[in-house]
Amino acid sequence: MVVLTKPSLEQVSLPTPHKPRSCFSGIPVIDMLEPGAESLLVKACEEFGLFKVTNHGVPMELVARLEDEAVKFFSLPQMEKERSGPANPFGYGNRKIGGNGDVGWLEYLLLEVTSKSISHASLAFLKETCARSFCSVLNEYIQAMRRLASEVLELMAQGLMIEPRNIFSKVVMDEESDSVLRLNHYPPCPLLLQGLNGTMTGFGEHTDPQLISVLRSNNTSGLEISLRDGTWVSVLPDTESFFINVGDSLQVLTNGRFRSVRHRVVANGYKSRVSMVYFGGPPSRERLAPLPLLMGEGEQSMYREFTWYEYKRCAYRSRLADNRLEQFES
């Protein structure tokens, strides 16, 4: 799969190359319909902060339709794409990630997820007649992601043996949930074809601020994660499964029992990579702190209480690689 147009360089300096990593085959795979899946899921969250789910109930036909629409969008002339931006924070972005100096070899479309139809978003092009099919599949996909995120979070609660079962999922299913859908395009990097020694960063290392992220990409590699010992490994793509990332907010709620996974994306010299990421976040007013239900006798809280609004404001002021949770430790 090739996206036809090339993103404009916009005179932005390229990220620093780094050495390629070995492929890692140990990512947990969890069948959501298998008895005992909830226990395996908890173990994966504790050991990796990342796992794949199968039998997830999301039609592959829906995934393919959204990927097709994303490819059509990223294939538009640069001037047309820029009608949807600049990302501040929502809209079209090209190379610049946030407002604090981070850059990557990618272009993206960042969409706010609310209880309203995506056609009511603040992006003008989504209100146009020509974007009707794009809006339709976006709405279907977002609903599927909300359901999947909710089911995964309820399995987490079940595996942790806490009640109510929706103690996590109700946060992302709230009408005022502050969630996001991100469509990323990492075009082939020509410098890698010119014999550049190493790999080029597509999206720099970071953790996700929300509770969980639901990721799906095409069959092009690029995702890397940091294991608990700090070793970086490459994660093979899987077009039939969804990757689930533990986010910072879930790390706080579990008092560090679940760890948000540090990850990044490297560019490819030959193939385009298209990924779709749903970030399930809490409402702005939601107060985040370790759940007493998950703390043993005498266990100290690792984090002070704060609102999602406070944490998001901190995230917007920070660089990608910063450890944002340090500011909220007890």
Among residues 273, 285, 287, 313, the one annotated as catalytic is 273
Asked if residue 146 lies in contact with residue 133, where contact means CB atoms within 8 angstroms, the answer is no
Burial of 257 (0-12, 13-18, 19+ CB in 10 A): middle
Check if the beta carbon of residue 61 is closer than 8 Å to that of residue 85.
Answer: no
CA of 84: how far to CAs of 23, 91, 142, 144, 303, in Å? 36, 5, 19, 24, 38
The beta-strand segments (E) located in 137-292 are 179-186, 201-206, 212-217, 223-226, 232-235, 242-246, 263-266, 273-280, 287-288
Residue 213 phi, psi dihedral angles, 5° rounding: -120, 140
Helix (H, G, I), strand (E, B) or coil at 266: strand
User: Which residues 6+ apart lie within 8 Å of 205 measured at CB?
Assistant: 226, 262, 263, 264, 320, 321
Q: Cα separation of 73 and 108, whole Å? A: 10
Q: CB of 154 within 8 A of CB of 163? A: no
Catalytic residue check, 273 = yes
User: Which residue stretches of the chain are H helix?
Assistant: 37-47, 60-74, 78-81, 132-160, 169-173, 190-193, 248-253, 308-317
CA angle 76, 77, 81 (to 5 degrees): 70
Asked whether the beta carbons of 302 and 330 are under 8 A apart, the reply is yes
Q: How many CB atoms lie within 10 A of CB 241?
A: 20
For 61, the token pair is: 């036909």
Provide the annotated active-site residues: 273
